[in-house]
Structure 1
Amino acid sequence: MILALQIILVLAAVIMTVFVLLHKGKGGGLSSLFGGGVQSNLSGSTVVEKNLNRYTVLTALIWLVCIVALNLLQAYGN
């Protein structure tokens, strides 16, 4: 159980790093390479950017749950 949580934690950290790097910054960011640069003048952000935000938050929640679970297993496990 602990090994599985550790693996998920590392994968979530790597995926979250990639998602954060894909976000659009002041200069356009890496998300413009994958279609994030095509914007409508009427909307503030594209569907790609909104989905990227959702995936980033979901990955961060998974990362946080793994940290809490590992801490609880270490404190009260065995």
Structure 2
Amino acid sequence: MVLALQIILVIAAVLMTIFILLHKGKGGGLSSLFGGGVQSNLSGSTVVEKNLDRVTIICCLIWLACIVALNLLQAYAT
């Protein structure tokens, strides 16, 4: 059980990193330093961006649930 949760945790962490990096910049941050600020002002929020937000949040919740479950299993292990 612990091994399965650890594998899910690693996969969720990698996917969450990829999904966060796929988001386009909202301007004013590091993305505008590399020229991303001009593009973010020209286009609005698309369906793809909204779906990417949803998938990122779901992946974050899975990651958080794995951390809590692993800590509970470790705390109550006999």
Identity over aligned residues, as a percent? 74
Q: TM-score, normalised by structure 2?
A: 0.78
| Higher RCO structure, 1 or 2 (CA under 8 Å, sep 6+) | 2
Q: Which residue of 1 aligns with 2:61?
A: 61
Per-residue CA shift, 1:17-74, capped at 9, x if unaligned? 000000010316xxx9xxxxxx4xxxx4000000000000000000000000000000
Q: Which residue of 1 aligns with 2:47?
A: 47
Matches of 2:77 and 2:54, distance apart in 1: 33
Matches of 1:17 and 1:53, distance apart in 2: 13
Over aligned residues, Cα RMSD in angstroms? Answer: 1.9
Higher helix share: 2
Matches of 1:77 and 1:52, distance apart in 2: 37
Q: Which residue of 2 aligns with 1:74?
A: 74
Runs ≥4 residues deviating over 6 A: none
Q: TM-score, normalised by structure 1?
A: 0.78
Question: For 2:4, what is the secondary structure of its paired residue?
Answer: helix
Gaps of 5+ in 2: 28-35
Q: Which residue of 1 aligns with 2:20?
A: 20
